[in-house]
């Protein structure tokens, strides 16, 4: 069976500091990978998605970037955090072949920028 790991679970960072959130998937090959952000407990906003190693698509212009150095590893980064980057960040995966594949979310990282 497939599992998704995301860490850390919580993070408090000062404004202007860097960020690195990591997500790994086990039990499947060539998954599609996603980063979502959720503010105020509602609304899932897609930030990035990837259909393969080194292939990253950005949904919205922002202070964040993503990388996929390995098939089942997805990293969300920032060089300098803003207050507005606070939120609940969720990594997710789906099967890479075809459509109609549900998303499976990690446990999320609650980021507070102070």
Partner 1 sequence: GENVEQHPSTLSVQEGDSAVIKCTYSDSASNYFPWYKQELGKRPQLIIDIRSNVGEKKDQRIAVTLNKTAKHFSLHITETQPEDSAVYFCAAPRLQETSGSRLTFGEGTQLTVNP
Binding region for partner 1 (CB under 8 A): 32, 34, 41-44, 46, 49, 51, 90, 94, 96-108, 110
Least distance to partner 1, CB of residue 48, Å = 11
> Length of the chain in residues, anyone?
114
* 14 vs 98, beta carbon nearer partner 1: 98
* 17 vs 101, beta carbon nearer partner 1: 101
DSSP string, 31-50: -EEEEEEEETTEEEEEEEEE
SS3 content of the chain, % helix, strand, coil (to 5): 5, 60, 40
* 48 vs 80, beta carbon nearer partner 1: 48
């Amino acid at each position: 069976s497939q599992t998704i790991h995301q860490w850390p679970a919580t993070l408090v960072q000062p404004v202007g500091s860097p960020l690195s959130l990591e997500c790994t998937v086990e039990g499947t090959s060539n998954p599609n990978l996603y980063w979502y952000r959720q503010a105020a407990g509602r609304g899932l906003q897609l930030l990035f998605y990837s259909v393969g190693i080194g292939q990253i698509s950005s949904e919205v212009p922002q202070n964040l970037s993503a990388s996929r150095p390995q098939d089942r590893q997805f990293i969300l980064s920032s060089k300098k955090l803003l207050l507005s980057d606070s939120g609940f960040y969720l990594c997710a995966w789906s099967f890479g072949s075809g459509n109609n594949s549900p998303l499976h979310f990690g446990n999320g990282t609650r980021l507070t920028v102070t």
